[in-house]
Each structure stands twice: as structure tokens, then as C-alpha cells.
Amino acid sequence: MNKLAKKIRTITISPAIAFLLILFIFIFKNSFLANTYSYIIALTTLIILPIIAYPIQKKFNIIKNPDQRYAERNLAIIFSVIGYLIGFILSLILKTPITEKVLYSTYLLSAILIFVFSFIFKINASGHMAGIAGPIAVVIYYFSNYYLLLCLLLIPIIWSSLKLKRHSHQELVLGTFIPIIALIISILIF
């Protein structure tokens, strides 16, 4: 069962889900992002930057901590905030569609809140859950309520996180609701 739980968590990492979201947007609502450059920026800031934190931590040991998983997670949070901030700033500078601004704002606010909970309050709000619940919320809001069924995908992720003791119930709930709140705030702002 632990192998299955690990596989579930591996294939549902936040950058993988971000890739699926960007692909979904490209196929079903191409005008969601401004142009080809917007897709390249999204792939770079939402996917590549967060992922490269892991090999960088392994190679250079930037965050000094005996718990390698803890160090990797923290560097990934930092890289995610940087990537999302770059994407958000570029969406403002390049005067992209509101949908693109909302997307980056949602990712950025989510990452900032996870950063605050993790580093200030010492509550490891699940970035894994945020990385799945956020894109699901975006798809439901911008595409159709029929996509509420995607919420069922949260069940195996919750199970795997609990099985592997990666997060408590509180951390999973927090990680689920952070991006939903971030999306609502972003919609209200833009």
C-alpha cells in the first residue's frame, strides 16, 4: 500500500497538475492566456521553476537540514513563490487577459500563504493539495460546474498523504482551501 501511496503522490505533484491545467486551457480555451509567449511563460514559471528546486537542493544543499525531504520541500516553496511572482509581474507588464492575471495571482497568493503557514506559523499546509485543488477550482470556475467531479481526485491524494504520514488532516484541509480562497480574492481584485 505504501508503494501505491508513493506513486499517487509522485504523479500528482503540483507542477504535473499545472502542466495538465495549461494543456487543458490550451486545448479548450486558447484565449485564456494571451499568446504563445504566455504559454511558454506559464510552463517556465508554474512548472519548471518549482521542479528544479529538487535537483538543485540535492546537488548544492542550499537549505541545510538533515531531513532531505524537508529541505527539498522548503526550497520548492521558495522557488514556487519566485516563479509565480515572475509570472504575475509579467502578466501585469504584458497586459495579458484578466484570466491570465487571475491564474498567476491565484498561484502567487497560494504560494505566499503556504510560505507564511510553513515558515512563520510552522504549520505545513499541504502544497500538494493546493497544487491540485487550485487548478480544479480554476477549471470549475472558468469552464463548467460539471468539472466538480474532478474533486474526486482529491480522495486518493488525501489517502496517500495520510498513509505516508506526510500531512495531518488539518494540513490537508488547509492546503485544499488556500487556493480556493486565493482564487476568490484574485477574481475580486481583477
Where exactly are the structural domains of the chain?
2-189
Q: Give the model confidence (pLDDT) of 16-68 as tens digits.
A: 999 999 999 999 998 999 999 999 999 999 999 999 999 999 999 999 999 99
SS3 63: coil
Residue 96 dihedral angles phi and psi, to the nearest 5°:
-80, 170
CA distance linking residue 43 with residue 9, whole number of Å: 21
DSSP tag of 87? H
For the chain, where are the alpha helices, taking DSSP H only?
2-11, 14-28, 36-42, 49-60, 68-93, 98-115, 127-142, 154-163, 169-189
Name the stretches of the chain with pLDDT < 70.
Answer: none
CA distance linking residue 186 with residue 11, whole number of Å: 28
CA distance linking residue 185 with residue 43, whole number of Å: 23
Q: How far apart are the first and last CA of the chain?
A: 44
Closest CA to 100 of 90, 112, 113: 90
The set of cell numbers assigned to 107 is 498561484
Instruction: Please give the pLDDT value at position 122.
Output: 95
Instruction: Please give the pLDDT value at position 30.
Output: 82
